[in-house]
Amino acid sequence: MGLLEGQRAFITGGGSGIGRATARLMAAEGARVAVCDIDGDAAEHVAKEIDGEAFHVDVTDAAALENAIRTAAERFIGLSIMFNNAGGGMLANVHEYGDELWDRLIKLNLTGVFNGIKAAAPIILSSGGGSIVSTASISGVRPAAGEAPYAAAKAGVVALTATSALEYAPLIRVNAVSPGSIATKLTDPLWAVPGEEARAIEHTPLKRLGQPEDIAKVVVFLCSDLAAFITGQNIVVDGGMILHGSGVDGILTYLQSAMRGDPPQYY
């Protein structure tokens, strides 16, 4: 019997990276899984891999997300797990973020999680309880220059997690997971920067980039009975990287100097 035998899960950002790895592992551990992604084709592909359900939804559209969650719960006859994983970011100085871009990044990384919790919590309660996990980031714990809206939103996810844990206990456990440098489509542009992958590995005590499966294992643990006495926590999964500082220390300065044609001022 798997760790999540009989569980019914809904995952946002499930079409690739951490979301896909978590969907696959949850299914392998016995859960029925609904895969939601802004990329409908990606969601369909992952759902077919795991015999799950697919939903083409933008998490910033609260009504569409709520409808998808309700539909999944109807098909599964209830819901016991919500994994708020959708997100994204970029790098720029604070004054370079226009109002529209700031709003879009906050809406994606924080309001999207709020939308997921708001829609899923009542259904999980009516289904007998369960677990909510949201993807925060080490950027919300140790921000770097250039990450203002992303870091602020991810810190907000940690606070929202704690508040929700208080409100929905004892029937729902609510936790967050904060990845470090993980090899996904989202972080591919970082590894294209000369020397960045080697720097990230050097500054990670465990001497490698994280893989999506490293995060998926922690999410599954948090949703399982093995974590029955854990709620309101933010679990950092970064190979020890933030023991040395933030995840992308210095990369904005490096990129700016490169664009000016200056000698690299990075390490």
**What is the SS3 assignment for 145?**
coil
CA distance linking residue 149 with residue 154, whole number of Å: 9
Strand partners, 9: 33, 81
Helix-, strand-, coil-residue percentages of the chain, each rounded to 5: 50, 15, 35
CA atoms within 13 A on the CB side of 233: 14
The answer to whether 150 is a known catalytic residue is: yes
Given the residues 97, 150, 168, 254, select the one marked as catalytic.
150
Burial 217-232 (b: 16+ CB within 10 A, else e): ebbbbbbbeebeeebb
- Taking the C-alpha atoms of residue 56 and residue 38, their distance in angstroms, rounded to an integer, is 6
What the block records as the tokens of 224 is: 């399982």
Residues in the chain: 267
Structure-block tokens of residue 186 = 């989202």
CA distance 86 to 101: 17
3-state class (DSSP) for residue 177: strand
* Residues known to be catalytic: 150
